Structure 1
Amino acid sequence: MPMTLTQQTAPYTHWEYVHPESGDRLRVVPERGGIVTEWRCGDREVLYFDAKRYSDPTKSIRGGIPVLFPICGNLSGDVLPVNGIDYTLKQHGFARNLPWQLQLLDDQTGISLSLSDTDETRASYPFSFLIEMQVRPMAQALEIRTSILNRSEQVMPFSFGLHPYFNVSDLSQVELAGLNERCLNHLEMAETDTASQLGRFLDGVDFLCRPAGPVTLIDQANEGHLQLQHQEPMDLTVIWTEPPRPMVCVEPWTGPRQSLISGDRKLEIQPGDRHELSCRYAIS
């Protein structure tokens, strides 16, 4: 591979991508869910990443950009019924736990990560698929484009989301702009007003907002802004904090929890067809 993509051993084993013009850097670990663990834009370390926790493979990862597929959130009893058969599918699906394939994009402007079905995935989600995700650092932004191919002979239902963790200076000095006025509080599974949740970052929040346009994370301590620019249908926004970690997750989802059961924003791909998804994070 060209020198824009190199394998590194410190501070943990990963692949490092450096944009040939801007010098912006990505770190990615394809073996552990295809996770992007670092996005350095200029002199700003954008993503939060708990390297100590990551070093213990028995623990879930806290940080980077985990990928959620074929569901976002959880299913009741972790059960996905398909054609009269119940399959066990854990929270957020399996994509964040499996090894992905990594390549440099032909024009060297970013990286490509891909994941296809295996015997293991078909045991919990009986479909054949190929996910190809292009991650591109751009001028003060990160663009993620995803293509999902249905290789099955039946219609394939799915949800897709990203779970990025963003560094903040102080949870008490964080604001969010652009969210829908109403939200679903995941901690109580009850609808409420979004303003009531925005004042609880230090207590820990987990809520979902329906589409209302771009969402901006404002770090008042350093006057930094990060804006999630959605593209339909990945235009739901989930906000999550886990105090005392100095981070806020601003997550684009295609469908809410239980989507594949309730039908609420459930996406389907016909046999042999593809579905394209994209979003962008811009910083200022």
Structure 2
Amino acid sequence: MYTIERFEKEMFMMYQLKHPTGNSWITVCPERGGIITSYGTNNEERLYLNEATLFDRKKNVRGGIPVLFPISGQLHNGRYEWEGKVYDMPNHGLARIHPWEVLETHSDEDHAFISIMFRSSLSTKGIYPFDFKVIFTYTLREDQLLIHQTYENLSDQPMPIYPGLHPYFKSDKKVIGLDIETKTYFDYNDEQEKQFTGQIDLTHLKEAVRLENTHTKVKATVDDQSINMTMDEEFHYTVLWTEKDQGFVCVEPWTRDNGELNRQEQLIEVAPHDVFETWVNFQVL
């Protein structure tokens, strides 16, 4: 049987889903932005986590798998205009800085999952003027992490979104090989389109780089890890990022490009009282 352990750490309630052998697991902290803090396969931790940032509510968490909603990336001057009114929006949106609610947990002989919810409130509507309900279901099956996402628009007008995920994978090396059918990538450091030769060295790059997904499977190789992502076709981009002298690389599935809420050309618009569903699966070998 898969198991789910509930425990408290530094005043936060944590949920750990574990394979019957104990060789694979995921740990979730709903109160801290619904974040996955740990993902293990083959009895090895695959995610980087700076625990000091996790337990300090004033800081953005460095590590785990932060949820990016309603936007992925940044906006020009941290602002956007919608229907004639200007709003301030934090980098990567609101989901990662608000507590989530646990809806359901389940485990059996085949898998284990936890479903959590993030709802709009008076504080979110001052930044993002929509009523919404976001539900994530994190499932552990064998060594795979499955993330099903539901974005429900409870408003009477279309709701613009372009969500994503921000996984921090443990690695002391910064060269990432990618099995992806694209000939170019966009470098946010100098805002230039460049030739893609199969790998990217992030060692001296402060900002991220972005590659366009030409199909729904992406394989990234870093150190001795093979990071396999399968995803819904709405995930148009893979974004790579790191920080100097830090033991991680980020391989991030994004639905749309940085700054899309400023351009408003390719937004995903959820119709009033409708639902947008999508998914991403990870397997690290």
> Structures share a fold, TM > 0.5?
yes
The answer on whether the counterparts of 1:17 and 1:110 sit within 8 Å (CA) in structure 2 is no
State which drifts further: 97-106 or 266-275: 97-106
- Contiguous gaps of at least 5 residues in structure 1: none
- Provide the C-alpha distance between the structure 2 equivalents of 1:242 and 1:170, rounded to a whole number of angstroms: 11
Q: How many residues align?
A: 279
TM-score, with normalisation over the residues of structure 1?
0.89
> What is the CA distance between 1:45 and its match in structure 2?
0.5
Alignment correspondent of 1:161: 164
Alignment correspondent of 1:90: 90
Q: Using a 3 Å threshold, how does the CA distance of structure 1 residues 188 and 203 change in structure 2: closer, same or farther?
A: closer
Are 1:188 and 2:187 matched, yes or no? no
TM-score, with normalisation over the residues of structure 2?
0.89
The answer on whether the counterparts of 1:26 and 1:36 sit within 8 Å (CA) in structure 2 is yes
- Provide the C-alpha distance between the structure 1 equivalents of 2:124 and 2:135, rounded to a whole number of angstroms: 16
- Provide the C-alpha distance between the structure 1 equivalents of 2:105 and 2:8, rounded to a whole number of angstroms: 19
State which drifts further: 274-283 or 17-26: 17-26
The 5 A counterparts of 1:174-253 are: 174-178=176-180, 180-195=182-197, 198-204=200-206, 206-213=208-215, 214-220=217-223, 223-253=224-254
> What is the CA distance between 1:75 and its match in structure 2?
1.4
Q: Using a 3 Å threshold, how does the CA distance of structure 1 residues 283 and 39 change in structure 2: closer, same or farther?
A: same
The answer on whether the counterparts of 2:12 and 2:31 sit within 8 Å (CA) in structure 1 is no
Which among 145, 170, 176 is matched to residue 173 of structure 2?
Answer: 170
The answer on whether the counterparts of 1:197 and 1:205 sit within 8 Å (CA) in structure 2 is no
The answer on whether the counterparts of 1:177 and 1:217 sit within 8 Å (CA) in structure 2 is yes
Are 1:260 and 2:275 matched, yes or no? no
- Provide the C-alpha distance between the structure 2 equivalents of 1:154 and 1:234, rounded to a whole number of angstroms: 24
The answer on whether the counterparts of 2:185 and 2:211 sit within 8 Å (CA) in structure 1 is yes
Query: Could you list the per-position Cα deviations for residues 184-212 of structure 1 after superposition, in whole angstroms to 9, with x for gaps in the alignment?
Result: 21222332223497134354451111112
> What is the CA distance between 1:115 and its match in structure 2?
0.3
* SS in structure 1 at match of 2:193: strand
* SS in structure 1 at match of 2:262: helix
> What is the CA distance between 1:22 and its match in structure 2?
4.8
Alignment correspondent of 2:137: 134
The answer on whether the counterparts of 2:211 and 2:239 sit within 8 Å (CA) in structure 1 is yes
State which drifts further: 187-196 or 84-93: 187-196
The 5 A counterparts of 1:27-176 are: 27-106=27-106, 109-171=112-174, 174-176=176-178
> What is the CA distance between 1:59 and its match in structure 2?
2.7
The one-letter code of the counterpart of 1:252 is P
Q: Using a 3 Å threshold, how does the CA distance of structure 1 residues 41 and 269 change in structure 2: closer, same or farther?
A: same
The answer on whether the counterparts of 2:177 and 2:198 sit within 8 Å (CA) in structure 1 is no
Q: Using a 3 Å threshold, how does the CA distance of structure 1 residues 168 and 241 change in structure 2: closer, same or farther?
A: same
- Provide the C-alpha distance between the structure 1 equivalents of 2:283 and 2:40, rounded to a whole number of angstroms: 13
> What is the CA distance between 1:100 and its match in structure 2?
0.5
- Provide the C-alpha distance between the structure 2 equivalents of 1:136 and 1:267, rounded to a whole number of angstroms: 25
- Provide the C-alpha distance between the structure 2 equivalents of 1:183 and 1:121, rounded to a whole number of angstroms: 34
The answer on whether the counterparts of 2:151 and 2:277 sit within 8 Å (CA) in structure 1 is yes
CA RMSD of aligned residues (A): 2.3
State which drifts further: 19-28 or 106-115: 19-28
> What is the CA distance between 1:236 and its match in structure 2?
1.2
* SS in structure 1 at match of 2:182: coil
* SS in structure 2 at match of 1:260: helix
* SS in structure 2 at match of 1:121: helix
Which has more strand, going by share of residues?
2
- Contiguous gaps of at least 5 residues in structure 2: none
State which drifts further: 91-100 or 235-244: 235-244
- Provide the C-alpha distance between the structure 1 equivalents of 2:21 and 2:228, rounded to a whole number of angstroms: 20
* SS in structure 2 at match of 1:4: strand
The answer on whether the counterparts of 1:182 and 1:194 sit within 8 Å (CA) in structure 2 is yes
